[in-house]
C-alpha cells in the first residue's frame, strides 16, 4: 500500500513578499507549513538580505517552475561605494576599500556597458554547483571556488537616486543575473569598489508587488491567496483538446493533428506547425498538460493532475 502523503493537495502559486533575514528555503518551508501543503518549490532564490517577490509553487504548479524562471525580473538595489565585501553585499567581510566616490554623470555614462547581453562572474557566495558542491559551501570552508564568466541579459538599468556614498538603481533582467555581481562590476568599472547594501525584487513575470502577500497576511487569508497553476504560462499558446485527445496525452501518448479542422485549431492557438513550440493543453478550459508541438505531433511534456 502506498504511503499517504502528509498535508493537503494544493495546486497553484503564492506570490510571497519575502522579508529580510530569511533564506528562500526558510520562506518556502514557512509557506508550506502555513497552508499544510503536500508539495512546494520556489521559482528563483532570493538572498537572505533581499526582500520582495519570491514565487512559491504548490503541488502541480511545481511542474511549471521552469516557465516562471524564464520570465524577466525587476529589482531595485543600492550600491555603497568604497567597500568591496566577500559576499558582494552588506553581510560579508570587507575585502577592499577605495576613497573614490563616482559622480552621477560618470555613473550614468557607464550604464550602457551593463545593458543587453553581458558577461558576468557569479558571486563566490552563490548556489552555483562546482563539481557537485555549492559555491557558498566552498567559500565558507575557506576555499576559492572557480566561477566562470557567463552570459546574462539586462534589458534596462537606470540610476534612481545618488547621494554621496550611496546610489540606488532599478534593473530589469533575465534569469541567472546576480545583482550582487552587477553592483561589484559597476563599481570596478568606475575605478572604485562597492557592494549591495539593499535589494528588493519587485517583479518576476506576472508576479508583482501588487499581487504579493506577506507571511503575516498569508497566515490570515490561507488558501484564498493561492493563484492558478497557469499564472506563469501566459506567454505560451493554449491549445484546446477534446476528451479523446486529452485522454491520450494524460496516458503519455502523442496526438496527431492531421485533419484540416485540427490544423485550424493550431492556427487559432497561434501555433505555427512549421516551428516546434511548447504549449498548454486545455480540456474544457482546464489545464491538463504541458506539451511540445512539433509539426502535426503533440507530445506530453508534463501531465498536470488538477
Catalytic sites, residue numbers: 47
From CA 224, how far away is CA 142, in angstroms rounded?
A: 46
CB atoms within 10 A of CB 283: 17
Query: CB neighbours of 71 closer than 8 A, spacing ≥ 6?
Result: 175, 204, 205, 206, 232, 235
Residue 258 to residue 273: CA distance in whole angstroms: 11
Are 82 and 98 spatial neighbours (Cβ–Cβ below 8 Å)?
yes
CA dist., res. 246 & res. 284, Å (int): 10
Residues in the chain: 306
* Cβ pair 304, 265 in contact under 8 A: no
Amino acid at each position: 500500500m502506498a504511503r499517504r502523503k502528509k498535508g493537503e493537495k494544493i495546486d497553484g502559486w503564492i506570490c510571497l513578499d519575502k522579508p529580510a533575514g530569511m533564506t528562500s528555503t526558510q520562506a518556502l518551508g514557512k509557506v508550506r507549513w502555513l497552508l499544510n501543503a503536500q508539495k512546494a518549490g520556489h521559482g528563483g532564490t532570493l538572498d537572505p538580505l533581499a526582500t520582495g517577490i519570491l514565487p512559491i509553487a504548490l503541488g502541480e504548479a511545481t511542474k511549471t517552475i521552469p516557465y516562471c524562471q524564464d520570465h524577466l525580473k525587476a529589482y531595485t538595489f543600492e550600491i555603497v561605494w568604497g567597500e568591496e565585501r566577500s559576499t558582494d553585499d552588506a553581510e560579508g567581510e570587507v575585502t577592499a576599500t577605495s576613497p573614490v566616490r563616482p559622480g552621477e554623470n560618470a555613473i550614468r555614462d557607464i550604464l550602457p556597458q551593463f545593458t543587453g547581453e553581458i558577461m558576468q562572474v557569479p558571486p563566490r557566495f552563490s548556489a552555483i554547483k562546482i563539481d557537485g558542491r555549492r559555491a557558498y559551501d566552498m567559500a565558507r570552508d575557506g576555499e576559492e571556488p572557480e566561477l566562470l564568466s557567463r552570459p546574462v541579459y539586462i534589458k534596462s538599468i537606470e540610476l534612481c537616486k545618488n547621494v554621496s556614498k550611496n546610489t540606488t538603481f532599478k534593473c530589469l533582467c533575465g534569469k541567472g543575473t546576480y545583482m550582487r555581481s552587477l553592483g561589484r562590476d559597476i563599481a570596478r568599472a568606475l575605478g572604485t569598489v562597492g557592494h549591495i547594501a539593499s535589494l528588493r525584487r519587485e517583479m518576476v513575470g506576472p508576479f508583482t508587488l501588487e499581487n504579493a502577500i506577506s507571511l503575516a497576511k498569508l497566515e490570515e487569508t490561507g488558501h484564498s491567496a493561492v493563484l492558478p497553476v497557469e499564472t506563469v504560462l501566459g506567454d505560451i499558446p493554449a491549445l484546446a483538446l477534446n476528451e479523446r485527445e486529452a485522454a491520450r496525452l494524460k496516458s503519455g501518448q502523442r496526438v496527431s493533428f492531421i485533419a484540416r479542422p485540427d490544423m485550424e485549431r493550431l492556427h487559432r492557438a497561434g501555433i505555427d506547425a512549421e516551428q516546434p513550440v511548447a504549449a498548454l493543453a486545455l480540456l474544457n478550459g482546464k489545464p491538463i498538460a504541458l506539451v511540445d508541438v512539433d509539426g502535426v505531433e503533440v507530445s506530453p511534456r508534463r501531465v498536470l493532475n488538477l
